[in-house]
Amino acid sequence: MRNPKWTRDELILALELYFRCKPSKINKEHPEVVRLSKLLNSLPIHPQKEKYEKFRNPNGVYMKLCNFLRCDPTYHGKGLRAGSKLEEKIWSEFAADREKLQKIATAIKECASIVPRPIEGDIPEYEEFEEGKILTRLHKIRERSTSAVKKKKEVVLRRKGRLLCEACGFDFEKKYGNIGKGFAECHHIKPLSDLRPNQKTKLRDLSILCSNCHRMIHRTKPMLSLSEFRKILR
């Protein structure tokens, strides 16, 4: 029985600890290692039935920290070759920007407890932002907030008379007639690392997008702002 592979969220948290507590200076009994082990066991990422006895235990967490040593040019100790491609990817994305790493790790830790476990088939893997599953899921929850979306559309309709995609100008009503009336998607524009548990979705956090633009902006890594995304369309 094998435990599931480490995901992006988990590796981000491990890398954040790596920079605070270099594995060459600590061991698996270190309180921070034990704390991360507990946190990883509580994350809403892996289904309970896929977790086995030693799932993310302190020993496994400590070994994961050691895996990052091979990516670290400042480490000159004995070679540790084992490791995954995703570890290398996470290292290359975040090691040079520790502030960003810290911000995302904090957001993941704070939001983990309010994000429900995934519903099968809900978010295809390719739509996961670089900030990982938990923050991607929270982004989806926020932009699907029925009351905020309803209010946003009402306000835009009152002001502009139409629900035009803020990126490409697509108008569902114009294209599809009555079927498209009142239809548009809302995208939450706040950076994922700024998401926190008790924020209410404000109207200015949402922008109107057509379904194509919304799917495409969700494929950008890191998530582009609307104005950056518009530049690509031009």
Q: Taking the complex as a whole, how short is the minimal distance between the CB of residue 166 and Zn ion, in angstroms?
A: 8
Among 170, 184, 191, 192, binds Zn ion (CB under 5 A): 170
Stretch that binds Zn ion, among 34-42, 60-68, 73-81, 157-165 (CB under 5 A): 157-165
Q: What is each CA distance from 189 to 143, 145, 152, 158, 198, in whole angstroms?
A: 9, 14, 13, 21, 17
Contacts of 22 (CB under 8 A, 6+ apart): none
Own/partner pairs for 113-122, CB < 8 Å, 24+ apart?
113/42, 113/197, 114/138, 114/197, 115/44, 115/141, 116/44, 117/44, 117/45, 117/47, 118/44, 118/45
Verify binding: residue 195, Zn ion, rule CB under 5 A.
no
Q: What residues are paired with 207 via a beta bridge?
A: 187
Residues contacting Zn ion: total by CB under 5 A? 8
Mask: binding to Zn ion, 117-156, rule CB under 5 A, as x and -?
A: --------------------------x-------------
Verify binding: residue 213, Zn ion, rule CB under 5 A.
yes
Verify binding: residue 167, Zn ion, rule CB under 5 A.
yes
Stretch that binds Zn ion, among 38-46, 52-60, 105-113, 180-188 (CB under 5 A): 180-188
Verify binding: residue 189, Zn ion, rule CB under 5 A.
no
Q: What residues are paired with 164 via a beta bridge?
A: 171
Verify binding: residue 186, Zn ion, rule CB under 5 A.
no
- Residue 66 or 167 with smaller CB distance to Zn ion: 167
Q: What is each CA distance from 83 to 19, 67, 134, in whole angstroms?
A: 18, 6, 23
Among 17, 208, 210, 223, binds Zn ion (CB under 5 A): 210
Verify binding: residue 187, Zn ion, rule CB under 5 A.
yes
Contacts of 64 (CB under 8 A, 6+ apart): 6, 11, 14, 87
User: Residue numbers of the site for Zn ion (CB under 5 A)?
Assistant: 143, 165, 167-168, 170, 187, 210, 213
